[in-house]
A and B are shown apart, each in its own frame.
Chain A
Amino acid sequence: MRDVAVVGFAQRQMPEFDGSPTCVEMLVPLLAECYEQTGWTRRDIGFWCSGSSDYLAGRSFSFVSAVDAIGVIPPVNESHVEMDLAWAMYEAWLKIQTGEVDTALVYAFGKSSAGVLRRTLGLQLEPYTMTPLWPDTVSLAGLQARAGIDAGVWDETAMAEVANRSLTDAEKNDWSIRKGGSSVEELLAKPMYADPLRKHDCSPVTDGAAAIVLAADDKARDVRDKPAWISGLSHYIDPMGMGTRDLTRSPSAERAAAAVDLNGVEVAELHAPFSHQELILRRELGLADDVRINPSGGALTSNPMFSGGGIRIGEVATRIWSGEVAKGVGHATSGPALQQNLLCTLVSTPEGASN
């Protein structure tokens, strides 16, 4: 295995982007930030991979238009996933492991506000028995939240505690679009929205984009004193159906956690778009009480579609670069009610890094 590190990260998050859903306008300055952080030009990037969906953009081939942001003469080595940035990063990590390239820049973008996001996401469901009912994202999360409340696995107070901590931490994150902690009592006094969920239990619709730069071995050491070395990367999937799995658990997150070494993790950025999902993830990852959860404010306060997961990895990497922590884990989810889970552990020293 080659030692591969996250050496660059840039992000944009906003409630409503008033430009084209191809997001070239947002991506050009993001890529420029990555070049500035690494000292590279686009010709130093060995591999590109993007994450986006035409269903979100409302047009065909939006990812092809987005390639304008790179500039493709001479031609570039490029790929695309209809998944979050974290999965684009996984593909790039594999590409570097093959030895074909030493560096990669991955980016992802989405203008969630162009359509009705919670409805558009119905298109990722089983098309015979689910999509025709148009179960929206909030409803599916509500069914999961209720299952946990009824089973006594968590309660509304625990959910409000997650929301309050997230909103408080978000005050220090310029990119969070919802912020301002109060108290658990105050949050619980707010009206129900999609019973059992209050609005603060659901991530806000967020437009945005993000980019991550990967480099292998000495290429990474050239860029940063403390590159954020990827010591583990794992991804597992549960069945899509809502009836055939225990909604209070996440077997795929548990398996992903078992496939990486979480010992000594100081910070965890968990991609939990709904408050109760953080509670599920904390349990499945077996995180100790002293692990700092979502210091960025997390996806509950800002969740740009297609980059909300990768941003978690970027946030952890930033804390490794600065020396704030020596080990952390970034998590990304996809699909209904935590169906898919990806974990990426990052460490400040590559020694002993294994997969």
Chain B
Amino acid sequence: MTRTLSAPVTVAFDYTRSTGPVLGRFLTGLRDGVVVGGRTSEGKVVVPPLEFDPVTHEATTDFVEVAPTGTVTSWTWVPEPVKDQPFDRPFAFALVLLDGADVPILHALDVSSPDEVSTGMRVQARWAAERIGAITDLVFEPLSASGPTGVEAIGDNPVSGVIVPVSLDYLYAASPEESAFYRGLNEGRIVGQRCPTCQKVYVPPRSACPSDGTPTAEEVEVSQTGTITTFCIVNVPFLGQKITPPYVSAYVLLDGADIAILHLILGVEAAEVRMGMRVKAVWKPETEWTYSLENIDHFEPTGDPDADYETYRNHL
């Protein structure tokens, strides 16, 4: 048995960003097959253009079209590309000084071995067929005899926003204490831990008592019956919702625990759910159990009289 449980997790979000006038001008150019730089107060042509001048701090307004050809000023080999890089096979990242620019741009260079790239080599832009106004609308390749192939402008409205999808893959590990909790659930048990200092029982267990920082060690199995300490009736639909509203989410303080867990209440009209109501765990069929709190399908009323307020007033 490994010390801890772990599982792959992907965290993804599409970042939507407005471009502003300067980067918008640059990205509009890429969409239309031209590379646009900005001239600084010192007369230097910078690609991509700087939004504000490094000396005067004025907004950049002097735009200059530079050539889609240039010279490599530095490069590095990428032997093991990572997800979403311009190529999924080995390639080079390069700093390319475009003809007409005074500082180089960082981009990908399509070569199949480090022997095919050198500082000082001449390169050209290769435009994507589908261009959206993004830095990925082009890559660089060694200069061909015929030079770069030009492309037609795609739109006449300026690019004002970009969507940058970010997707990160992790192997997410649970702490040893969380691992014990999930292993317990896989066996139909709810396992917490007791703080040796304040005697509080935490479910799920944590690596240290959040009240006093003491590591928790003593494992405690708690009851599958408990008391609703507070609840809310969910009427609003949202992305990723698994249950049709209205339904009740409640904090259930399991007998023997000092921290309530959040779970679903079924088997009772939403309007009848109340603080102090006694409920019990209803498990999914054992064949469906895994290392998850979802092994407990929901909680439902036991039918017992409500708990006295005094029994849970310190757990609200």
Binding site for B on A (CB under 8 A): 18-22, 24-25, 28, 31, 42, 55, 58-59, 65, 67-73, 111, 114-116, 118-120, 123, 127-136, 138-147, 150, 192-197, 239, 241-244, 247
| Contact digits for B1-26, partner A, Cβ 8 Å, 1 yes 0 no | 01110100101000101010001001
Query: Within the assembled complex, what's the spacing in Å between the Cα atoms of A59 and B15?
Result: 17
In the assembled complex, B100 has its CB within 8 A of some CB on chain A: no
Query: Within the assembled complex, what's the spacing in Å between the Cα atoms of A131 and B215?
Result: 40
Q: Which residue of A lies closest to B11 (CB)?
A: A58
Query: Within the assembled complex, what's the spacing in Å between the Cα atoms of A132 and B48?
Result: 14
B162 touching A128, Cβ below 8 Å = yes
**Which residues of B are found within 8 Å of A69, using beta-carbon distances?**
207-208, 213
Interface residue tally for chain B (C-beta within 8 Å) = 66
B82 touching A114, Cβ below 8 Å = no
Query: Within the assembled complex, what's the spacing in Å between the Cα atoms of A259 and B280?
Result: 65
In the assembled complex, B93 has its CB within 8 A of some CB on chain A: yes
In the assembled complex, B74 has its CB within 8 A of some CB on chain A: yes
**Which residues of B are found within 8 Å of A136, using beta-carbon distances?**
78, 82, 85
Q: Which 9 A-B pairs have the closest CB atoms?
A: A142-B76, A71-B213, A58-B170, A24-B207, A20-B175, A195-B77, A71-B212, A119-B82, A73-B211
A25 touching B207, Cβ below 8 Å = yes
Given the interface pairs A73-B211, A197-B76, the reply to whether A132 lies near B136 with Cβ below 8 Å is yes
Q: Which residue of A lies closest to B15 (CB)?
A: A127
| Contact digits for B158-189, partner A, Cβ 8 Å, 1 yes 0 no | 00001010101111111110100000000000
Which of A19, A31, A143, A197 makes the CB contact (< 8 A) with B95?
A: A143
Q: Which residue of A lies closest to B19 (CB)?
A: A128
Query: Within the assembled complex, what's the spacing in Å between the Cα atoms of A147 and B104?
Result: 12
Q: Which residue of B lies closest to A141 (CB)?
A: B76
Least CB distance, B66 to chain A, in whole angstroms:
13
A115 touching B78, Cβ below 8 Å = no
Looking at the complex, which of B105-113, B223-231, B248-256, B305-313 is the stretch in contact with chain A?
B105-113
**Which residues of B are found within 8 Å of A31, using beta-carbon distances?**
213
Least CB distance, A65 to chain B, in whole angstroms:
8
**Which residues of B are found within 8 Å of A129, using beta-carbon distances?**
23, 26, 48, 106, 135
Given the interface pairs A42-B213, A142-B76, the reply to whether A134 lies near B82 with Cβ below 8 Å is yes
Least CB distance, A55 to chain B, in whole angstroms:
7
B74 touching A127, Cβ below 8 Å = no
Which of B73, B85, B93, B212 makes the CB contact (< 8 A) with A73?
A: B212
Given the interface pairs A21-B173, A25-B175, A114-B172, the reply to whether A194 lies near B210 with Cβ below 8 Å is no
A143 touching B170, Cβ below 8 Å = no
**Which residues of A are found within 8 Å of B79, using beta-carbon distances?**
193-194
Offer 21 A-B interface pairs, CB within 8 angstroms, sorted by A.
A18-B2, A20-B4, A20-B174, A68-B213, A71-B210, A73-B211, A115-B171, A116-B83, A119-B168, A128-B162, A132-B162, A133-B85, A136-B78, A139-B93, A140-B76, A143-B93, A145-B76, A147-B73, A194-B79, A243-B47, A243-B105
Least CB distance, A261 to chain B, in whole angstroms:
29
Which of A58, A131, A194 makes the CB contact (< 8 A) with B78?
A: A194
In the assembled complex, B203 has its CB within 8 A of some CB on chain A: no
B83 touching A119, Cβ below 8 Å = yes
B209 touching A68, Cβ below 8 Å = yes
**Which residues of B are found within 8 Å of A68, using beta-carbon distances?**
206-210, 213
Which of A18, A71, A118, A134 makes the CB contact (< 8 A) with B84?
A: A134
In the assembled complex, B299 has its CB within 8 A of some CB on chain A: no
In the assembled complex, B155 has its CB within 8 A of some CB on chain A: no
**Which residues of B are found within 8 Å of A22, using beta-carbon distances?**
175, 207
